[in-house]
Amino acid sequence: MIALAAFEKIIDAAGAAPRIEAMLPIGVRPRQLTVRTLLAGMRLAQADHRPAHLTRVHQALVSQPEDDQRRLGVIADWKHGPHQLTYRQTDYTFGLAADAAGKDEPDGLPSDQLQGICDDLLEASIPDQFKDASTSLAVDWTDLESFSRPPPARGGPCADPEASWGPRKNNLLRSEDELFYGYYFSAGIMMPDENGPAVPEFARRAIVSSCRHDPVRAFAPVLTVMPAAGIPLGDVLADSGYAHRDAGAWALPLRAVGAQLVQDLHPHDRGPKGTHDGAIIANGNLYCPATPRSLLELGPLARDATPEQAAAHDAKTADSPATSSAASPATTKTATTASPAPRPWARSAARCARHR
């Protein structure tokens, strides 16, 4: 389990606690539980693989050594003696912070200030020696079920109104999607630059969005603000779920801030498109190599292709003319064109690095 001191260091480096405290109302008497201690308790609960319940946060705080409890204000001296933090106090402070950082009209997406706080906490968790070690990210999303039951079939309220029904791939033999009630969790993970040294795979950005929102469109603004914060974007590795969008939703915004896209082509974007034999369309760009003598001769590489096989395949296509010109839009490097659309999260974009 990660030490409490490490979490406190990250929270202080991010400056999240003072920002949230400044948004909270001032009461008649000071609150026993500060935002800094609340954030530390939330991190302790998650690091111990506990469910993300507020009761678990309270348990994590009151189970710390007595010296740490006093230092954090979990145990405070009241008029009639020492007083240990109660769950009701934990719920009160959490409710204040959630209301202050949330939206007046919740819509299934975090507010700008909440997303900014989360970004700063993730960035602060990366050790200084690795902050500039790589500009490449692998991105993907997965399903995240809500704690709440869905709304009744005939309508009505539920405990989590921001959640929504969404599709996800199942692990069964059939290919049909299944429905779940909850959110999509998207993350950008540090990856080594091409021909660069190995780097730890730290999570650099993340977002939780309701299933009523496209996770790709929800995550794109989180990444495009990184260069303005002094964090340049290099290669962005993604699977075919990111490629199969209109260019304005993903490809164009990321290219505008300097990112280079490395991603699978969706099955719908492969093969002849009616005007050019062998043409491929991806993110609004047309790729049109000369039609090979045999489709088998220039078939797609297998996922387990060796470097030697990849080099031989590249040599066959080196002299093929293309339709691109200086006036053509920026191209997208393709991670692989061999496989059908993989399953969410199991189809980790990190695997794309092996096929570049």
Domain termination site, one of 51, 72, 101: 101
Same domain, 82 and 159: no
Residue 113 lies in a domain: no
Same domain, 74 and 134: no
Same domain, 76 and 208: no
Residue 303 lies in a domain: no
Q: With 70 as the cut, is the pLDDT of residue 78 above it? A: yes
Residue 316 lies in a domain: no
Rounded distance, CA 240 to CA 297, Å? Answer: 24
Domain count, the chain: 2
Arithmetic mean of pLDDT, 59-88? 94
The parent domain of residue 215 ranges over 122-288+323-355
Average per-residue pLDDT for the chain: 82
Same domain, 83 and 183: no
**Banded pLDDT at 241 (limits 50, 70, 90):** confident
Instruction: Give which of 247, 246, 243, 264 is closest to 255, Cα–Cα.
Output: 247
What is residue 176's predicted lDDT score, i.e. its pLDDT? 73
Give whole-number Cα distances, 276 to 287, 318, 328, in Å. Answer: 9, 19, 16
Residue 106 lies in a domain: no
Same domain, 47 and 165: no
Same domain, 60 and 127: no
Kindly state the tokens that stand for 72. Answer: 């954090």
pTM of the model: 0.74
Rounded distance, CA 308 to CA 314, Å? Answer: 10
Q: With 50 as the cut, is the pLDDT of residue 354 above it? A: no
Residue 110 lies in a domain: no
Residue 162 lies in a domain: yes
Same domain, 127 and 243: yes
Same domain, 49 and 144: no
Taking the CA atoms of residue 281, residue 283, residue 287 and residue 293 in that order, the dihedral angle to the nearest 10 degrees is -40
Same domain, 97 and 126: no
Residue 112 lies in a domain: no
Same domain, 178 and 96: no
Same domain, 90 and 157: no
**Banded pLDDT at 295 (limits 50, 70, 90):** very low
**Banded pLDDT at 285 (limits 50, 70, 90):** low
Residue 298 lies in a domain: no
Same domain, 214 and 329: yes
Domain termination site, one of 35, 68, 101: 101
Please report, in angstroms and rounded to a whole number, the separation of the first and last CA atoms in the chain.
36
